[in-house]
Amino acid sequence: MMKKKLEKYYPLGYDYRPEIIITALMCMLLSGWAFLMFRAGLNLALESVTQEYIDGVRIIEETAFYKVPTFVSLLGEFQSFALVFIFAVITAVYRYFYHYQHSKSIYLMKRLPKRSELYKRCLSGSAVISLICLAVMAGLVAVCFMEYISIVPEEFVRIF
Amino acid sequence: MLEIKNVSKSYGSKQALSDVSISFPRGEIVGLFGENGAGKTTLLKSMLKLIKFEGSITLDGESISEKNIDKLSFATAEHSFIPNLTPSAHRDFYKEHFPSFSDKRFKSLMEFFSLPDKPLRSFSLGQKNQFEVIMALSQGADYILIDEAFAGNDIFNREDFYKVLLGILGENETVILSTHLIEEVSDFIGRAVLIRSGEIIGDVSTLELMEKGDNLVSYVKRAYNYRSDRVSKALNDLTDGEV
């Protein structure tokens, strides 16, 4: 049932599973990478302003307020998610040219009474990839924020 | 009535159609003849609005749009089906998009040509051509445009197709058949349109020709200024007059 519904948003006879698998893998790898870099950046910054540890508790210099990075400045690696959006654009172009593979089914698609059908089938998948990526990014920002406020002492927390 | 008025189309510096004007009433089988590159395919694609052109093409007074495009169907030697789909999946898709799709005609033609319900990519070239034409005939269109769709099929297959075509066409259906096979279709068509270098150089009904005691092949040769002596001249030149 779900498969039938999905098929309506992809070119006819198109195997959309590789796209979904690649998107999932890209999102997982980029999330892991972005989180790792966020955590590493935060640790390095905190280490540089740590005076000492007392019973495992980090003691930070009192004057270090501006040396502790803001939350947003630690999200720099999120730009690597641009790869997913580039992938979304590439797949949209590929889905259009799929209609030229082994036949000219583009002729059929272009003479349908519902002209939007071709564009719906070429663009919907890319919209889904972009939305999945945005959702993953939003979830990751939330996780990173929780991590940030749990590690950085309250008086040093800065968002921007 | 499908009316083409002052249609021109060029690909870069090459003029593919030059000020073409012609009309096709309903209920005709029309042969569209011309050599390779004469403009036959360009004319058919213009009718379907698959390419941009200058001039106007109207169906019953209205220009071709989403509202009336379902009245035109297309079968091409390039194939417009989806190779990964089965015939029944094509039928479902056509039924969803073309309200006049004829399930009955589809079933009958599938049976007639004994086509299997497997993905089209596994079909032979002949089967692919047959399927292409089946979909064009089953769409429920008033104008069925066929562009060399039987190139690559054997003579028996083609003859079967012409007979089936004559047998199933309704009185309001028009077939515009673009082909090189003039002799082969001369008994099946009611009108012949000749195109050369993007211009219509002949338009005649086969009945008219018959009444004059003429035939289509001679008419086409005359229209194309075919020089019957060119073969003997060429052979003479090649063999230094020994033939």
- Of the pLDDT bands very low, low, confident and very high (cuts 50, 70, 90), residue A88 is very high
> Residue A59 — φ and ψ, nearest 5°?
-110, 120
Say if residues B65 and A86 touch (Cβ distance below 8 Å): no
pLDDT above 90 covers a percentage of chain A that reads: 71
pLDDT above 70 covers a percentage of chain B that reads: 96
Say if residues A126 and A88 touch (Cβ distance below 8 Å): yes
pLDDT score of A108: 97
Name the strand (E) or helix (H) holding A57. Answer: strand A57-60
A125: Cα within 13 Å, side-chain hemisphere: 31
pLDDT score of B132: 96
d(CA A91, CA A19): 8
Rounded to an integer, the average pLDDT of A102-113 is 96
Task: Give the amino acid at A101.
Answer: Q
Tell me if chain B has a CB within 8 Å of the CB of A17: no
pLDDT score of B10: 95
| Residue carrying structure tokens 């079967």 | B160
Tell me if chain B has a CB within 8 Å of the CB of A3: no
In whole angstroms, what separates CA A129 from the centre of its chain?
Answer: 9
Is beta strand B143-147 parallel, antiparallel or unpaired with respect to A57-60?
Answer: unpaired
- Of the pLDDT bands very low, low, confident and very high (cuts 50, 70, 90), residue B164 is confident
Q: Which residues contact B124 (CB under 8 A, 6 or more apart)?
A: none
Assess whether pLDDT exceeds 80 at residue B4. Answer: yes
| pLDDT, tens only, B82-97 | 999 999 999 999 999 9
- First CA to last CA across chain A, in angstroms? 46
Contact between A113 and B70 using a beta-carbon 8 Å cutoff: yes
Assess whether pLDDT exceeds 60 at residue B243. Answer: no
Query: In chain B, which residues touch A (CB < 8 A)?
Result: 48-50, 66-67, 69-70, 72, 74, 76, 78-85, 89, 93, 97-98, 119-121
| pLDDT, tens only, B207-228 | 999 899 888 888 888 888 766 6
Name the strand (E) or helix (H) holding B104. Answer: helix B103-112
Average the pLDDT over each of A17-31, A46-60, B126-140, B169-183 and give the range with the smallest value.
A46-60
Domain ranges within chain A, ordered by starting residue: 15-156
Provide the 8-state DSSP code for B48.
T
B213: Cα within 13 Å, side-chain hemisphere: 0
Contact between B78 and A104 using a beta-carbon 8 Å cutoff: yes
pLDDT score of B32: 95
pLDDT score of A4: 72
Name the residue of chain B whose CA is nearest to A4's CA. Answer: B89
| Residue carrying structure tokens 């070239």 | B125
Q: Which residues contact B85 (CB under 8 A, 6 or more apart)?
A: A12, A13, B93, B119, B120
Helix B103-112 to helix B87-97 angle (10° resolution) is 160
| Disruptive mutation site among A4, A8, A103, A119 for chain B (greatest number of B CBs within 10 Å) | A103
| Disruptive mutation site among A95, A108, A110 for chain B (greatest number of B CBs within 10 Å) | A108
d(CA B26, CA A36): 71
How far B98 CA sits from the closest chain A CA (Å)? Answer: 7
Residue of A13, A108, A113 with shortest CB distance to B84? A13
pLDDT score of A140: 96
Assess whether pLDDT exceeds 90 at residue A67. Answer: no
pLDDT score of B105: 95
- Of the pLDDT bands very low, low, confident and very high (cuts 50, 70, 90), residue B189 is very high
Contact between B89 and A113 using a beta-carbon 8 Å cutoff: no
Contact between A107 and B76 using a beta-carbon 8 Å cutoff: yes
CATH topology (fold) of B2-81+142-239? Rossmann fold (3.40.50)
Task: Give the amino acid at B151.
Answer: A
Which residues on adjacent β-strands are paired with residue B174?
Answer: B143
Residue of A11, A107, A114 with shortest CB distance to B74? A107
Say if residues B1 and B64 touch (Cβ distance below 8 Å): no
Tell me if chain B has a CB within 8 Å of the CB of A4: no
Assess whether pLDDT exceeds 90 at residue A55. Answer: no
Assess whether pLDDT exceeds 60 at residue A10. Answer: yes
Residue A2 DSSP SS3: helix
| Residue carrying structure tokens 């075919």 | B226
Q: How many CB pairs under 8 A join A and B?
A: 65
d(CA B100, CA B84): 24
A103: Cα within 13 Å, side-chain hemisphere: 27
Assess whether pLDDT exceeds 60 at residue A154. Answer: yes
ipTM associated with this complex: 0.89
- Of the pLDDT bands very low, low, confident and very high (cuts 50, 70, 90), residue B197 is very high
- Of the pLDDT bands very low, low, confident and very high (cuts 50, 70, 90), residue B242 is low
Higher-confidence residue of B130 and A52: namely B130
pLDDT above 90 covers a percentage of chain B that reads: 68
pLDDT score of A1: 65
Neighbours of A157 (CB within 10 A): 14
Assess whether pLDDT exceeds 80 at residue B233. Answer: no
Is beta strand B2-11 parallel, antiparallel or unpaired with respect to B72-76?
Answer: unpaired
Counted residue by residue, chain B has a size of 243
Of the candidates A80, A77, A49, the residue with the CA atom closest to the CA atom of residue A153: A49
| pLDDT, tens only, B123-144 | 999 899 999 999 999 999 999 9
Contact between A103 and B80 using a beta-carbon 8 Å cutoff: yes
Contacts of B69 in chain A (CB under 8 A): 111-113
Name the strand (E) or helix (H) holding A124. Answer: helix A116-151
Residue of B79, B85, B97 with shortest CB distance to A112? B97
Tell me if chain B has a CB within 8 Å of the CB of A102: yes
Rounded to an integer, the average pLDDT of B150-163 is 80
- Of the pLDDT bands very low, low, confident and very high (cuts 50, 70, 90), residue B6 is very high
